[in-house]
């Protein structure tokens, strides 16, 4: 397991890139772009009920994008093959 973890994580262009632990004989999963996009829209809709929270959330997202932690995806790039996205889930401190 430890050897697999070391080969699945690499440091490239000032960031860590981790490969998903797929089984070698498993059929490829379809892209989840549209599911993730819909989840993001729902998060924004829910946060819109609290304009101050939406503003803070937007600032956090912009900062993470500026720092290279996340990137904006307009349309799935099918030339890269099947791509999987991780939807953002806001956590509010009390």
Q: What pLDDT does 1 receive?
A: 44
More confident residue, 73 or 94: 73
Q: What pLDDT does 9 receive?
A: 86
**pLDDT, tens only, 39-76:** 999 999 999 999 999 999 999 999 999 999 888 887 77
20/85 Cα distance (integer angstroms):
11
* Spatial contact of 30 and 83, defined as CB atoms under 8 Å apart: no
Maximal CA-CA distance, the chain = 48
| pLDDT confidence bin for 4, thresholds 50/70/90 | low
Q: What pLDDT does 78 receive?
A: 66
């Amino acid at each position: 397991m430890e050897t697999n973890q070391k080969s699945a994580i690499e440091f490239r262009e000032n960031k860590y890139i981790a490969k998903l632990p797929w089984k070698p004989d498993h059929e490829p999963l379809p892209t989840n772009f549209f599911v993730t996009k819909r989840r993001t829209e729902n998060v924004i809709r829910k946060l819109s009920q609290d304009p101050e929270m939406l503003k803070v959330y937007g600032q956090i997202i912009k900062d993470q994008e500026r720092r290279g932690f996340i990137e904006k995806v307009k349309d799935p790039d099918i030339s890269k093959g099947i791509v999987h996205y991780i939807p953002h889930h806001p956590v509010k401190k009390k």
